[in-house]
Amino acid sequence: MNNAPSPLIRSTTVVAIRHNGRVVLGSDGQATIGNTIMKHHANKVRMLFNGKILSGFAGSTADAFTLFERFEEKLEQYRGQLTRSAVELAKDWRTDRYLRRLEALLAVASEDRILLISGTGDVIEPDDDILAIGSGGSFALAAARAMKIHAPDLSAKDMVTESLRIAAGICIYTNENITLLEIDAAK
């Protein structure tokens, strides 16, 4: 029996964009088990560290709650330093016997950067200030990139909303019940 984590995290779409002085992170609200929709309005995004850090997850809900909790501890320990906290969580996630079995991805954002954190030790900052994870992530990423290039006058909030709607029209694990979080990167 293969106990390796599945390479595709299903059941959601999370998108983060930094654009024109705003940082927005959003997700759909669908929660599924296998091919059954269990909930339509799940909240997969959170504000952390006194509203200065945005976070969202794709993957197992219980695993994501564990990771949110651990990430919050790292943020407190490293006084809100996003990159340092992300690297330390990724190291723990990769090496800890319990954590390394967790199947989820985290998208996190502050006023100056967006990061992907994975259980394989990855901490990745996208080149274009756009990040999308989950089963609908590639669809949302393509849509967000197109909007940022061809419709730069749109707000970050509109770009995240529309990219999630486009993903929901393609990905069966994504719906149009969207939750958005926003911070002002221009402060």
Which residues carry out catalysis?
A: 12
Closest CA to 58 of 98, 29, 94: 29
Return the sign of the alpha-carbon dihedral for residues 168, 173, 176, 181: negative
CB 61 within 8 Å of CB 106: no
Residue in the structure block whose two tokens are 């651990």 = 70
Q: How far apart are CA 69 and CA 122, in angstroms?
A: 19
Q: What is the dihedral of CA 75, 96, 137, 177, to 10 degrees?
A: -60
The amino acid occupying position 110 is: S
Stated length of the chain: 187
Residue 172 in tokens: 């069966």
Neighbouring-strand partners of residue 16: 25, 131
